[in-house]
Structure 1
Amino acid sequence: MTGDIEGTASDIVADGGHDAGGAPADEPPVVVKIGGAKAVDPAGAVGDVAHLVANGRRVVVVHGGSTVVDEVIERLGMEPEYVESASGVTGRFTDAETMEAFTMAMAGKLNTELTALFREAGVDAVGLSGVDGGILSGPRKSAVRVIEDGKKKIRRGEHSGRIESVNADLLSGLLGDGYTPVVSPPMEGKESDGGVTPVNTDADRAAAAVAGALDADLVLLTDVAGVYADPDDSDTLIESAATPDELAAVEDAAEGFMGKKVMAATEALTGGSGRVVIGDANVRDPIVAALGGAGTTIERSAIEEVEEAAETDGGETA
């Protein structure tokens, strides 16, 4: 993700201006998560955001950047380290040195470059990290349980966090003034003594937290068309899930990195998002396509039916 990417939407948006109050009253904001893998080209998403904003839709962009983070770590003479959690999920181990490289790559390099691409396309973008204004905040996790050589161990010195709050007022204020926030980790990690430490957090789940807080639609862009019933067969795309059973089928089918995206989708819906779409970043007009039904759409009804059932079954017993 570099500043010389071509094919932005500067030719779509003639004058770059937009009416801050022009968003249709019946349309929720859109939170778009752009992945950081090399296989994900942001150019199509940049053009789509420019198109949506020019037509009055409020958009928040959240981005990842694992590939570039690894590159920066290696340039500094270190080796990226990934560990398996006790629940079987693979993630980055972020010690103090890694956290320094992470912040340089995410908040410094990637966020600035992506914000510049949006501004070139006529979008009044504002680049922010999750620490700014406490946009993403929660307790720091300084130790993690991992599996090494088949044994459970505790690794200390971790710099990660669990998002517990989103500064929705700040984001809503920026949207109301006509700006498009471009948000990236790190998040604000709260220490037990009241201190604040920038810490790593998963970008998909960060996007989910923002979408839930804003009651926004969420589009998770990746390098495949959506969730496949058979991960090895692209003809088995699951187009939608609107019931708990259909959601369960999506969860069962999601493997590897896709499992994290489906987890983020359920968190967004539980938090207040109306719908989540997992779609291909590399198709023409990827966000518009996703909002129009391309990819895998998970509706809020898949969560609401579960919640309603829980409330029904929650009566007093004799």
Structure 2
Amino acid sequence: MTVVIKVGGARAVDPAGALADVASLVADGEDVVVVHGGSTKVDETLERLGIEPEYVETPSGVVGRFTDEATMEVFEMAFGHLNTQLVAGLQSEGVDAVGLNGVDGKLLYGPRKSAVRVVEDGKKKIRRGDHSGTIKRVNGDLLESLLSDGYTPVAAPPMAGDDDGEIIPVNTDADRSAAAIAAELDATLILLTDVEGVFADADDPSTLIESVETAEEWADLEAAAEGFMGRKVMAVEEALTGGASEAVVADANADEPITSALEGSGTHMHASAVQEDNE
């Protein structure tokens, strides 16, 4: 079994438990790919540099960062730092980790979106100058080569954006990056975050949705997922329709967070739910 683990970049997430758990899985012979986010680190770095982060809303209601050229430079800086720290943390746990970004070997490749559709003051507009992209291809051979040689890849955005034949680093969502990798490797996807899973009532942890196996349950899940969790559910759908057999949203700060997720904690979403939904 291959497991793709996305460690969230939220301030409330402590990656130490996840790194120790990765070491246990690797020691047991499991193939593990780690993917990480870093939105909080990007915002903190922008603030230190006196740059105000700008968030925009798409016509579909998704809120994301507008990445201009200056923000993209900070993005590369922040994610590079986080990647090195996670690789060092895994090395300290005895894991032979290798850090990658999506540009390396065109790990994450697709077209650059130089302009994005946004909603401002209730009106749809086109914003140009964006440095983001849509993943269309994952270099699974690169990951499988590393895994077969005993290395544990630690991957993150930016991705390799194709801008009329020129490859430039561009922003892409870390959850969707993990989803694309899990789909390519037919892996189990685990998205670790700062809550226990998806709640039917976002303000009530006792309403945890434990399992999603049918189209009806998937519809209920989508209705319940709000804000950042909505983006995670969108990423999960891409993973499950692309080839991943199962995806889990679970608490990064739990004891042995990955092992406990594999054993049943968190919200488990199965390919059958999206297959039914798309029939």
Residue 191 of structure 2 is matched in structure 1 by: 220
Q: Quick one: which of 228, 232, 243 aligns to 1:261?
A: 232
Match of 1:54 among 27, 30, 37: 27
Shift of 1:59: 0.2
Residue 85 of structure 2 aligns with an amino acid whose one-letter code is: E
Is 2:84 aligned against 1:112? yes
Matched letter for residue 227 of structure 1: V
Q: Cα distance, 1:305 vs. partner?
A: 2.8
SS at match of 2:200: coil
Q: Aligned pair 1:296/2:271, yes or no? A: no
Partner residue, 1:75 = 48
Task: Classify the secondary structure of the residue corresponding to 2:249.
Answer: strand
SS state at 1:59 partner: strand
Q: Report the CA distance between 1:300 and its aligned residue.
A: 1.3
1:188 to 160, 178, 184: 160
Q: Comparing both chains, which one has the higher relative contact order based on Cα–Cα distances under 8 Å and sequence gaps of 6 or more?
A: 2
CA offsets 1:162-213 (integer angstroms, 9 cap, x no match): 0000000000010011100000100000012x00110000000000000000
Looking at CA atoms only, which structure, 1 or 2, has the larger radius of gyration? 1
Q: Distance in 2 between matches of 1:259 and 1:121?
A: 33
Deviation at 1:152, TM superposition (A): 1.5
Once the two structures are superposed, residues 81-113 of structure 1 have per-residue CA deviations (whole angstroms, 9 ceiling, x without a partner) of: 11111111110000001000000100x211011
Partners in 1 of 2:182 and 2:256 — Cα distance? 21
The 5-angstrom pairing of residues 1-318 of structure 1 reads 28-106=1-79, 108-192=80-164, 194-307=165-278, 310=279
Code of the aligned partner of 1:148 = E
Q: How many residues align?
A: 279
Q: Which runs of 4+ in 1 moved over 3 A?
A: none
Q: Deviations over 1:260-289 (max 9, x none)?
A: 111111100011001000000011000001
Which digits, 9 at most, give the CA deviation of each residue in 1:104-140, with x for residues without a partner? 100x211011110011111110000000000000000
Q: CA deviation at 1:304?
A: 2.8
**Partner of residue 22, structure 1:** none
Give the distance between the partners of 1:149 and 1:123, measured in 2 at CA. 50
Structure 1 counterpart SS, 2:10: coil
Alignment-mate amino acid for residue 153 of structure 1: K
- Matched to 2:191, the amino acid is L
Gaps of 5+ in 2: none
CA-to-aligned-CA distance 1:125-158 (integer Å, 9 cap, x gap): 0000000000000000001111112221111000
Identity between Structure 1 and Structure 2 (%): 65
**Partners of 1:266 and 1:239 in 2: how far apart?**
16
Deviation at 1:306, TM superposition (A): 3.7
Q: Distance in 2 between matches of 1:84 and 1:305?
A: 30
Q: Secondary structure at the match of 1:225?
A: coil
Instruction: Specify the code of the residue in structure 1 equivalent to 2:64.
Output: G
Q: How many angstroms apart in 2 are the aligned matches of 1:243 and 1:86?
A: 28
1:274-317 per-position Cα deviation (integer Å, ceiling 9, x unaligned): 1000000011000001010100000111123345xx3xxxxxxx
What letter matches 2:110 in structure 1? G
- The TM-score normalised by the length of structure 1 is 0.87
> Counterparts of 1:94 and 1:304 in 2: how far apart (Å)?
34
Which structure has the highest strand share of the two? 2
For 1:262 and 1:151, locate their aligned partners in 2 and report how far apart those are by CA, in whole Å: 26
SS of 1:109 mapped into structure 2 = helix
* Partner SS state of residue 101, structure 2: strand
